[in-house]
Structure formats: C-alpha cells, structure tokens
Structure 1
C-alpha cells in the first residue's frame, strides 16, 4: 500500500470518527468537497500544505494521516 492509499484510509477513518461529512470537512479545511473526495479515494496526492489544512480541520496531528496501520478489515 502506498502512502497515498494510507492517507486516504486514515482520512476517511478520522472524518468518520469526528462524524463529519466530506462537505463539512472541506469547509473547515478551506478545500472543495470534490478535492477532499478525491483524496479519500486515493485519486490524488495531497501536498503537505493540504495535509496540514486537513489535520487542522480534524484537530489531529498531520502524522496521524500518514501512519500505516494493520491490514484492512
């Protein structure tokens, strides 16, 4: 699994944990909903700037979005 997929999975999990929609997260992060969706699907790679914006919006450390966790369920 590449880092883009790791971030996609962690972003989706963190967003669900915070009970946010993609639209709510996008608004908090100052991004478009379409872009957030593309990141979550692993269609695009987010820059470190965007990574920081998303982490701030989720109130987590940026590194949490890049941690490799166990195999998918």
Structure 2
C-alpha cells in the first residue's frame, strides 16, 4: 500500500508527524512508519488520517494488487 500522508502534511502548512499523530491518536514513530510504507494502518486509523486532511480514504491511501502480499493470496 502506498500513501500521500507526507505530501498532505507538507500541503497542510508543514504539519509535523507529531502533530498528525496527536490528532489521530498515534505516536510520531507510527506516523513515520505509515509514511514509509513499513506499517499499514487499520481502517479506522486510515479514515481518521484522511479526515484530518479533509480527504477521502482513497485520496490518501492506494492499494496495489501484487504489491506487498505476504499471505500469498
């Protein structure tokens, strides 16, 4: 899964990872991991992040078939 979180933070007057984390109930480190694609947020968290930026979830997060499929499905 890819995402636009870092870009949206930049466009939101350089919102920090810590500020976004505080607004959605996560740590700065978790926001960093989401931005880097090392961690996929729960659906609830993804909706909360999208809401902070006034975007739909599909404007922020992008699933790609055949990407990081660890289950072999």
Q: TM-score range with shorter-chain normalisation?
A: 0.7 to 0.9
Deviation of residue 35 (structure 1)?
A: 0.6
- Quote the RMSD (CA, aligned, Å): 1.6
Q: Which has the larger radius of gyration?
A: 2
Tell me whether 1:11 sits opposite 2:5 in the alignment.
yes
Tell me whether 1:38 sits opposite 2:33 in the alignment.
yes
Deviation of residue 67 (structure 1)?
A: 4.7
Distance in structure 2 (CA, Å) of the matches to 1:66 and 1:33:
18
TM-score (norm 1): 0.73
Is the 8 Å Cα contact of residues 30 and 53 (structure 1) preserved in structure 2? Answer: no
Tell me whether 1:55 sits opposite 2:71 in the alignment.
no
User: Which consecutive unaligned segments of at least 5 residues does structure 2 have?
Assistant: 64-73
Deviation of residue 65 (structure 1)?
A: 0.8
Moved over 3 A (4+): none
The number of aligned residues is 62
